[in-house]
Structure formats: structure tokens, C-alpha cells
Chain A
Amino acid sequence: MKKLKILIVDDSSVMRKIVERALRQAGLDLTEVLEAGNGAEALAEVQKGALDMIFSDINMPVMDGLEFLKNLATLESAKGVPVVMITTEGSDARVVEAIAAGARAYLRKPFTPEQVKERVTPLIGGRP
């Protein structure tokens, strides 16, 4: 499986660790895992260099996940990088909004490693 450099965006440091663990349990080969506590921090990380995939929460302080997606679309360094939204939101409307703003997939918490694998594997290698 392709080695991946990913960014996990969530205001909870514990949730970032939970997501990383789930991704590893799902069989993803993570060579580097960057973390950001909100959308603004995440944009700064994206500008530093190439990423293979981004996982982002929706509800966050400073800049939420939807705003992050909109800003991400303007960055050359983010072109083609798949974004997976991870949320506790039961709202279908917010998920639809996230997909419309450029997210390639979403995961609702709680999730199993199998569900992570199912949603994420098709996106690996998606960067042109």
C-alpha cells in the first residue's frame, strides 16, 4: 500500500489520536502524521508542502471544517489532495455542504476501522 503523509484536523487532541489509530488499524501505511487544532492551523500546514490526504472535523473554533474546505480550494498546494470529513454531526445538510465544498468522503463518529478502510482506500493515490 502507498505510504501516506496525512494531516488530521480536530480541536480535540485525543480525537486526533483516535483518528490516527483508526487509520493505522484500517491498514493505512502512515509515514508522517501532521496535526492541526482548527482550520486556520491546517491551512498553514497545507502551505508547507505536499500531503496525500487530509482528515478534518467540521465543528471547530477559529475556523470550522467547512470554512477550511473553502479556503483549501484556493491553495495550489492542496490541489488534488483528498479531504475526508470526520464528524459527530447527525445533520445530513452539513455533510452535503461539505461534499459540495470539495470533501471527497465523510465518516460519522462512531466508526470502525472497517468503515474507515471502506471510505478511505478508494481515495489513496488520488493525487495527480
Chain B
Amino acid sequence: MRPLVNPSHQASNQAESSWKAILECAAMEVFEMMAGVHLEPNPEPGEEPSGEQTAMVGMAGALCGMITLRCSQEMSKRFASLMLGEAAAANPTTARDALGELCNMVAGNFKGKINALKDQCMLSVPTVISGEDYSMDTADPNEGITIAFTCDGNLVWVCLIVQP
């Protein structure tokens, strides 16, 4: 497996192997603190990432790639409702933007926990795709991390995709 971090930044493979746990922790913290919900890691989701809402935040610098957060429309509305109140979440644009902000915080929290990335990796503004009929062609799937969570019986996906 190719090093996930630019070799010039001296990140060790050992550190990279811990990234899955760090990403898992980063996502759980964000949802717990900002929406008051517990994400339960689901090591055997039994399906590929799915859901009508996908938020993406690009990363550039020591690590080039993106972090995505994917869930159903219903769950994205629920998260928005918990973060902003029911009235605000009724607006589909607001619900989408809230998912984008959650993804942005997951990315920021993740990189903030890794010394090799903390000061050397920039984040893009979030983008949100609505709909399921799309494919994302980026790096080799081996150069990424996919984590499934269960939240009240619904799947929530967090992926780190690293550009070669």
C-alpha cells in the first residue's frame, strides 16, 4: 500500500494504520457534540455506502483527497433538526448545508488529531451531492478508509479517499 501521506512529511505507516480508529473517533465526537447523537461503529454493514445525501470536503497539502459523509435524506434532516431546530431543518437547503458542515467538522477534527496533518493540510469548503445515481472516480479503493456507523437503525457512512 502506498503511503497515505506525502513521504516528505515523514508520516509513518504505523501512524497511518491508526487512521481508521482516529477517523471513527473524529466522526463520533462531532455527532455527539454537535447533534447529541451516538454513532455506533458497524464493522459488518453488509452493503456498500448508500444514501441520497453525500457531503464532501477536499483535503490538500500533506494529504490530498477528501472525506465524505453519506446518509439518507431522512437522516440528514434529522441531524439538521438536532443542530438547528425542526423549523430550520424543514428547509431542504438548510438540511443539506448542515450535513456539509458536519462533514467539514469531521474532516477538521480528523486532521487535528494527526500531527503530520494538523498544520500541513488545508480543507475545502463542503459540497453536498443529492441523489444516489452517481459514481466517484478517484484513487484506488485500497487507498482509502470506509467506516459504517449505525444511528438509530440507519446507516451513516464516513469515507477517507486519498488521491495517489
Contacts and interface: CB of A to CB of B under 8 A. Distances in A.
B72 to A, nearest CB: 19
Given A14-B101, A18-B84, A21-B85, A90 B113 contact: yes
B105 A109 contact: yes
Contacts, number: 66
B97 A88 contact: no
Given A18-B84, A18-B98, 17 more contacts: A12-B100, A12-B101, A12-B125, A14-B94, A14-B97, A14-B100, A18-B83, A59-B123, A88-B105, A88-B107, A90-B109, A90-B113, A92-B119, A109-B105, A110-B33, A110-B105, A110-B109
Interface in A71-128: 87-93, 108-112
Contacts of B94: 14, 17
Chain B: interface secondary structure? helix
Interface of B: 29-30, 33-34, 83-85, 88, 94, 97-98, 100-101, 104-105, 107-109, 111-113, 117-119, 123, 125
A18 B84 CA distance: 6
Interface of A: 11-15, 17-18, 21, 59, 87-93, 108-112
B11 to A, nearest CB: 15
A10 B122 CA distance: 17
Contact of A14 (B29, B33, B84, B123): B84
